[in-house]
Amino acid sequence: MTFPIDTKLSWTDHYVEHGFAVLRNLASPDFVRDAMAEVAEMLGHGLPPTQWTAENSPARSRKPVSQMPALQRVYDDPGIRNIIDTMFGSPDHWNGQRQFQLFLNPYDEAAKAEVSPAGHIDFVSCPVPIFGSGFMFQVALSKSEPFSGNITIYPGTHKAIQRALVENPDLQYPKDLQPLLECEPYEFVAEPGDVLVFHHLVGHAGNYSHAANRRPRVVLHCQGLRKTWLHEIDPASPTLSPWERSLAFTGGRYKVRQDEYEWIVNYKRKKQEAKAAAV
Ligand SMILES: O=C(O)CCC(=O)C(=O)O
Ligand SMILES: [Fe+2]
């Protein structure tokens, strides 16, 4: 059993409620075709995707994505830009950063056809932002199948994590928060051009590639970030954007103790300094 998408909800309501949404066939076919051609050129072996293996195809691009102009166009795609603008409630909030990676999971003979029973969040042993400044999305460039190494999402966990942080903003992942990230996952099995949008606090996991027909997983793993970080939310406000609504599980009006960005940067800097002083 995997978690079923609730098709009665709009994608934005699904994102708010479950911490993720799937938009089928969203990125333009021209973009997807050119991006896949650029990936194939980078690999250089001319083999069809079902013959890609861990030996002949690296999981992370050999070439920096900054040198892959077709991939860069992901942020010019009208469907993608519409997601960003809709999430933030206006085209004025996006910070313009093209921050993404190419994730490629070729068939792995030694792996098992299974997905992780638990997720992670990306804020490891550091402050976890209650609000943060954006969301994540993946754009599928090729057809995948169950166990292709697709990302899995642990639905609804963004709420539990945010509530725990409201109670105690000093909680950290994994030591305090891992138990909240175990539930029935959703696996992003994709057709080319499908997009998965997910919350910065929702549990998610990478998986091994061992699908029946040996299809690999090829996606762009992207961030949609705002110019400004949020400091405060009033869940009762009628004008919240979908992104803000997904951050309104605070149980009432909530204001951060300090700027979250500065908090994370200072925390990391102090940790580095302590490490340097210890050697
Ligand atoms: O493989 C994936 O799609 C997920 C990767 C991930 O969660 C990460 O890099 O933090
Ligand atoms: Fe992650």
- Concatenating the DSSP letter of every residue in 8-47 gives TS-HHHHHHHHSEEEETT-S-HHHHHHHHHHHHHHH-S--
Give, using CA atoms, the residue closest to atom 1 of ligand 1.
Answer: 206
Instruction: For residue 87, count CB atoms less than 10 angstroms from its CB and return exposed for 0-12, middle for 13-18, buried for 19 or more.
Output: buried
Distance 115 CA to ligand 1 centre (A): 13
What is the rounded average pLDDT of the residues 255-272?
A: 94
Q: Is the pTM of this model over 0.95?
A: yes
Give, using CA atoms, the residue closest to atom 4 of ligand 1.
Answer: 206
Does ligand 1 have an atom closer than 6 angstroms to the CB of 200?
no
pLDDT of residue 54: 87
Give, using CA atoms, the residue closest to atom 9 of ligand 1.
Answer: 206
pLDDT of residue 62: 80
Coil, strand, or helix at residue 195? strand
pLDDT tens-digit readout, 18-75: 999 999 999 999 999 999 999 999 999 999 999 999 889 988 778 999 999 999 999 9
Is it the case that residue 268 has pLDDT exceeding 70?
Answer: yes
Strands (E), 48-111: 100-105
pLDDT tens-digit readout, 104-150: 999 999 999 999 999 999 999 999 999 999 999 999 999 999 999 99
pLDDT of residue 117: 96
pLDDT tens-digit readout, 150-174: 999 999 999 999 999 999 999 999 9
Backbone φ/ψ region at 119: left (φ over 0), alpha (ψ -120 to 50), beta: beta
Cα-to-chain-centroid distance, residue 266: 25
pLDDT of residue 61: 77
What is the rounded average pLDDT of the residues 198-224?
A: 98
Coil, strand, or helix at residue 128? coil
Interatomic CA distance for residues 217 and 219, integer angstroms: 7
Distance 52 CA to ligand 1 centre (A): 20
Cα-to-chain-centroid distance, residue 247: 16
pLDDT tens-digit readout, 92-108: 999 999 999 999 999 99
Interatomic CA distance for residues 268 and 36, integer angstroms: 37
Is it the case that residue 1 has pLDDT exceeding 70?
Answer: no
Interatomic CA distance for residues 87 and 94, integer angstroms: 10
Atom of ligand 1 nearest to the CA of 151: 3
- In the chain, the domains with their CATH numbers are 11-278 (2.60.120.620)
Q: Strands 232-233 and 254-255, how do they pair?
A: antiparallel
Q: At what angle do helices 78-88 and 11-18 cross, to 10 degrees?
A: 60
